[in-house]
Amino acid sequence: MLSFLRSDLTQLNAYTPHPEAEGEHQSQPIDRLDTNECPYDLPDDLKQRLASTYQHHIEANRYPDGAHTDLKSAIATYVTESATNPIQISADHISVGNGSDELIRSLLIATCLGGQGSILVANPTFSMYAILAQTLGIPVVTIQRDDGFALNLDEAEAAIASHQESAQTTAPPIRVVFMVHPNSPTGNPLTSTEIEWLKQLPSHILVVIDEAYFEFSQHTLVSEIAQHSNWVILRTFSKAFRLAAHRVGYAIAQPELIQVLEKVRLPYNLPAMTQAAAHLALTHRQQLLQTVPEVLQERDRLYTALKDRSQLRLWPSAANFIYLQMDTEKATADLSHQLKKLGTSVRFTGGGLRITLGSPVENNRTLERILKIL
Ligand SMILES: Cc1ncc(COP(=O)(O)O)c(C=O)c1O
């Protein structure tokens, strides 16, 4: 025990991206369907362009552009053009992070650090909000979702009320509500009732809408940014844009909040190659996003093939993964384990299995293996 460390950190485990793989040495190749990536690498021609950018335009001895000037402009154009309701987004509405994970941490630092606030999350949801909060000593208030994974709004209201400054509690007030749209691991988008509830939250609570799966769902609340100074939308290049290896995400919010995120982040948080890769992906987005309809078709195929199996419970998904459960949590965990043994890695989380859609060949194997186990 290192006595100079914060005692609360000793209770925490380091994040393991592939917990199922811990301690195992699998000889056969594994279908990696546990982290919601796109199954396809960048096309060769784009990889070659990127290699040529490195060769001819990147000076390895120089720091990268710490202001992300070109990338922010390209992102702003993409966000404006892909919005489902009209909105004009400019570079000063954008902050770029080393993955959206970095932006989540920056938001926590900017709002809750030093005993200033707690966060509210509705489980099951993306685990990083709570993990990053705990590493910063920020209290996490959790509520449970209902049977269809909608928010229990009474419970959410009660949680906020019981942490208000005036309440008889020593816990700091809730300063941030984290929502994923559509939620991971369960795949459901926010309902109109949930959206209305988020809209009426007071301006001293930051509403984070994580749209990591926007390119699959085509649901976005980005146009709300114009009306709400306490809203921020998060997106990532790790999913449909096929750049998980490069670590790049972005936040969209009113300039006042963006300026604070810019203060909080590390000065050169995005390597030059990462900036170049994200820029290239945006320039060639039509080509890259061509795989999205295939993934959605595959999702529907898998869902249809599994939904009537009496041992399984499945929910419709608006993202590139499906979520299922068996009768008991133990049976679900066993299914995950057996799938891994057969060569398909999925994520056991929140009491269910989250299965990322892979290539059609991988999805066929997933289906065959699940049916074999059942
Ligand atoms: C909801 C959600 N937000 C953020 C992320 C992380 O994105 P990034 O790779 O940009 O850190 C993920 C990754 O799985 C996710 O599911």
The response to whether residue 180 sits with its C-beta less than 6 Å from ligand 1 reads yes
Dihedral over Cα of 200, 203, 205, 210: its sign: positive
What would the mean pLDDT of 215-223 be, rounded to a whole number? 97
Question: Ligand 1: which atom is nearest the Cα of residue 126?
Answer: 1
The residue whose CB lies within 8 Å of the most ligand 1 atoms, and thus the one to mutate among 35, 36, 100, is: 100
The response to whether residue 101 sits with its C-beta less than 6 Å from ligand 1 reads yes
Specify the residue with its C-alpha closest to ligand 1, atom 12: 212
The residue whose CB lies within 8 Å of the most ligand 1 atoms, and thus the one to mutate among 36, 37, 101, is: 101
Over the stretch 174-208, which tens digit does the pLDDT of each residue have? 999 999 999 999 999 999 999 999 999 999 999 99
Q: What share of the chain is helix, strand, coil (3-state, %, to 5)?
A: 45, 15, 40
Instruction: Provide the CB-side half-sphere exposure for 270 (13 A, CA).
Output: 32
Over the stretch 234-254, which tens digit does the pLDDT of each residue have? 999 999 999 999 999 999 999
* In contact, 298 and 38? CB cutoff 8 Å: no
Question: Ligand 1: which atom is nearest the Cα of residue 248?
Answer: 10
Q: How far apart are CA 146 and CA 150, in angstroms?
A: 5
The pLDDT assigned to 216 comes to 98
Question: Ligand 1: which atom is nearest the Cα of residue 244?
Answer: 9
Angle 99-111/255-264 helices, nearest 10 degrees?
100
The residue whose CB lies within 8 Å of the most ligand 1 atoms, and thus the one to mutate among 75, 98, 184, 186, is: 184
> Residue 251 pairs with which residues in a beta bridge?
95, 234
The pLDDT assigned to 65 comes to 96
> Residue 130 pairs with which residues in a beta bridge?
none
The response to whether residue 183 sits with its C-beta less than 6 Å from ligand 1 reads no
β-pairing, 352-356 vs 321-325, is antiparallel
Over the stretch 56-108, which tens digit does the pLDDT of each residue have? 999 999 999 999 999 999 999 999 999 999 999 999 999 999 999 999 999 99
> Residue 157 pairs with which residues in a beta bridge?
none
The pLDDT assigned to 354 comes to 98
Where is pLDDT greater, at 3 or 47?
47
Q: How far apart are CA 24 and CA 22, in angstroms?
A: 6
Q: Write down the pTM of the prediction.
A: 0.96
Q: How far apart are CA 169 and CA 159, in angstroms?
A: 12
Q: Range(s) for CATH 3.40.640.10 in the chain? A: 48-284
In CATH terms, the superfamily for domain 19-36+289-373 is Aspartate Aminotransferase, domain 1 (3.90.1150.10)
Torsion of CA 323, 126, 35, 351, to 10 degrees: -40
Q: What is the DSSP letter of 353?
A: E
C-alpha 182 – ligand 1 centre gap (Å)? 12
Over the stretch 155-178, which tens digit does the pLDDT of each residue have? 999 999 999 877 767 789 999 999
C-alpha 113 – ligand 1 centre gap (Å)? 22
Instruction: Provide the CB-side half-sphere exposure for 300 (13 A, CA).
Output: 7
Burial 163-189 (b: 16+ CB within 10 A, else e): beeeeeeeebbbbbbbbbbbbbbbbbb
C-alpha 212 – ligand 1 centre gap (Å)? 6
* In contact, 117 and 174? CB cutoff 8 Å: yes
CATH class, domain 48-284, is: alpha beta
Over the stretch 274-299, which tens digit does the pLDDT of each residue have? 999 999 999 999 999 999 999 999 99
What would the mean pLDDT of 325-334 be, rounded to a whole number? 97
The response to whether residue 50 sits with its C-beta less than 6 Å from ligand 1 reads no
Over the stretch 4-58, which tens digit does the pLDDT of each residue have? 999 989 888 888 777 666 555 566 789 999 999 999 999 999 999 999 999 999 9
Q: Range(s) for CATH 3.90.1150.10 in the chain? A: 19-36+289-373
Q: What is the DSSP letter of 58?
A: -
Structure token digits, residue 116: 């200033």
Specify the residue with its C-alpha closest to ligand 1, atom 15: 212
C-alpha 16 – ligand 1 centre gap (Å)? 14
The response to whether residue 182 sits with its C-beta less than 6 Å from ligand 1 reads no
The response to whether residue 36 sits with its C-beta less than 6 Å from ligand 1 reads yes
C-alpha 102 – ligand 1 centre gap (Å)? 10
The residue whose CB lies within 8 Å of the most ligand 1 atoms, and thus the one to mutate among 128, 183, 219, is: 128
The response to whether residue 213 sits with its C-beta less than 6 Å from ligand 1 reads no
